[in-house]
Amino acid sequence: MQLPELAALAEWSDGDGLGRFERFVPMLGERVGFVLFPAHGAAMEATETMAHTLRDVLALGPADLAAIEALLWEECNFSFRVADYGAEARPGESALDAHLREFAMTGPADALARARLGEIHIDDGHAARFARLQYHTVAENLVSVIVKDGRIVDYDDDGTHLPWFEHDERCAHRRRRKVLG
C-alpha cells in the first residue's frame, strides 16, 4: 500500500488523535482493524513510515504465523508458571501441567487457535518500523506480538515501550527468562 492510498483509507479521530481503518491481512485470511499512532506531537496524518509498516504487515507469511504461534505458546507457558488460574494439580502433575490440562492446551497450535486478535497497531516516530498485533491470549492477557522492520521479534504486555526493542529485539523474552529463574 502506498501513502496516498493509506491517507485516503484512514479515518482520524480528534478525540484520541489516532487513525483507524480495516484491511484484509493475507497471513491471517481475514479483515483486521488497524490503528495508526502518530509520533509524539506529530500531525494526525499517515506517513510514509506508516505505509511501509503496513506493507510489512501485509507481506507476513506462513513462517511468520508459525513464529506468532510459538510466541503465544511461550506466553501460555509463562502465564501458567507465574500465575494461578485455579487449576488443581492431580497426583504427580505439576501446576503447569494442571493448567495446560484445564485449559485444554496441548501445544503451540492450541495457543494460536484459542487466542483472539483484537487489532493491529502501527506506531510512528521510532528508528525502526513497528507494528503490534494485539492478542487476547488463552490466559486472558492482552499482549502485543511485535513486528519490527517486517519481522516478528517478540511479544510483551500491551503498552510495551517499543524503544527497548530497537536495541534488543528479544528484551521481553530475556525478562521473562529472568522471572522464571
**Could you report the per-residue pLDDT of 78-101, keeping only the tens digit for each?**
999 999 999 999 999 999 999 999
* pLDDT at residue 1 greater than cutoff 90: no
The C-alpha angle with vertex 129 and arms to 163 and 65, in degrees rounded to 5, equals 105
Indicate whether 161 pLDDT > 90: yes
- Torsion, Cα of 173, 177, 179, 180 (10° steps): 140
User: What pLDDT does residue 96 have?
Assistant: 94
CA angle (102, 75, 20) in 5-degree steps: 115
Q: What is the mean pLDDT of residues 130-150?
A: 97
Cell representation of residue 103: 485449559
Q: Say what the pLDDT of residue 126 is.
A: 97
Stretch 67-84: mean pLDDT: 96
Q: Looking at residue 8, what is its pLDDT?
A: 95
pLDDT in the model for residue 123:
97
